[in-house]
Amino acid sequence: MQFTKAEEYGLLGILYLAGKEPNVITPLSEISQAQEIPEKFLAKIFQSLSRSGLVRSHRGVRGGFTLGRRPEEISIKEILESIQGPYHLLKCIPEPNLCTKSDPCALRDLLIIAEDKLVSVFAEHTLAHLAHEQTAETTTG
């Protein structure tokens, strides 16, 4: 399993916002430049994050983005799912009838267990956790 560029960039972008003072409006260009993410791609990702309420869009000359909620209230799972939709390791996990196999598949059963554990880790960790780790790495790094 590997994150898509959209997921990686989305996490990096929202993590950058988490490092800002609450309610400080940050221009997309600043986030893009600081995180070395193409601005147009980041704009599309932030549209998804905005639709789900994880970030707020502010229009105008001094426009940009703020977090939609406190970092402690935003799970990594919410961020990832707002960018890519629900997390599944195989298409047949949420929809068993998509499977072309006639017999039950042991691989599917194993991946259901793995997916549950992975999604649980993403649900248990918040943006605040990542921001704290980022700060710790910066000060010790």
**pLDDT, tens digit, for every residue of 44-56?**
999 999 999 999 9
User: How many angstroms from the chain centroid is the CA of residue 137?
Assistant: 20
Average pLDDT, the chain: 88
Cα–Cα distance between 141 and 117 in angstroms, integer?
30
Does the pLDDT value for residue 17 go beyond 70?
yes
**pLDDT, tens digit, for every residue of 107-125?**
878 888 888 999 999 999 9
Cα–Cα distance between 41 and 34 in angstroms, integer?
14
Return the higher-pLDDT residue of 106 and 13: 13
C-alpha to C-alpha distances, 43 to 53, 92, 110, 119, nearest whole angstrom: 15, 31, 37, 26
**pLDDT, tens digit, for every residue of 84-94?**
988 777 777 76
What's the pLDDT score for residue 65?
97
What are 113's two structure tokens? 């267990």
What's the pLDDT score for residue 97?
67
User: How many angstroms from the chain centroid is the CA of residue 124?
Assistant: 13
Return the higher-pLDDT residue of 46 and 96: 46
**Domain covering 5-140 in this structure, CATH number:** 1.10.10.10
What's the pLDDT score for residue 137?
65
**Residues 34, 40, 44, 50: is their CA dihedral positive or negative?**
positive
Task: Tell me how crowded residue 114 is: count the other CB atoms within 10 A of its CB.
Answer: 13
**Residue of 101, 83, 84 whose CA lies nearest to 92:** 101
